[in-house]
Amino acid sequence: MKKTSVITFLAILVLVIAGCASAPTSAPAAPEAKVSATIDFGPYWTGTVRMEKESNTGLKDNAEAVFYSEWTMGESAGNVYPKSFTSTVTGSEEQMDFLWDKGGDIKAGIYDVVVDVDGMPGTGTIKNLELKKGTEYNIYLSFNAAKVAIDFQTDGDDLYVYPAGTYSKYEDLGRLDNIPEELLINHINSYNENNAIWWLIPAGVPLDIYRTHSNGDAEWFKDYTAKPESFIKNFE
């Protein structure tokens, strides 16, 4: 091999090696962000979404979802009825093929779901609920709450739960007997014994609680904060 050919070959080899060394390496693909469902029932009723699931290939491109509610001790907290499913991707509403009042089949996707819960907390939204195709779901709204374990037996034996500060505001206005109904967080008495959610109050937030008795007596418990997962037998 001629000397000039050797020099040319070596020069080309150096350029190839340098090019390989300087070529940028591909960055690893970013992990897919996990979608976490949350609940929105206003500032007082908080909690999480718990899901049980199993595969069902017979659903094909659909998912099956049934809705329940529970409080922090795992007990039922009232029936849950899904009202609408809005896709977080397209913004359009998707119709569920209801098999029961509490759920049915729907196209797989990620949804904001408006639901009604028996009694309080009433209507709210499950946000970013991901339903994958070929999957059956039991979806539980787990409310952060305490359970009232007071025996309400007769007419006039009631408990009214309001946001903290309600007593002071309406006492100053001279309107303690005319507090707006929309401020009521919960109302507990003997007539709603069968609706479990009615026996719950939000935990971890200050409340003003008005207790009436069948003999006409009444009392306020101001700035009362219930402990999560507790049973309330009296207010102190």
- pLDDT tens digits, residue range 172-206? 999 999 999 999 999 888 776 555 566 889 999 99
Q: Report H helices in the chain.
A: 3-22, 166-172
DSSP-derived letter for residue 33 is: P
Greater pLDDT, 192 or 73: 73
Q: Which domains does the chain have, with CATH numbers?
A: 38-143 (2.60.40), 146-232 (no CATH)
Note whether 35 and 49 are within 8 A (CB): no
Question: Taking the model in full, what pTM does it have?
Answer: 0.78
**pLDDT tier for residue 5 given thresholds of 50, 70 and 90:** low
CA angle 15, 19, 22 (to 5 degrees): 135
Greater pLDDT, 234 or 104: 104
Residues near 175 by Cβ (< 8 Å), separated by ≥ 6? none
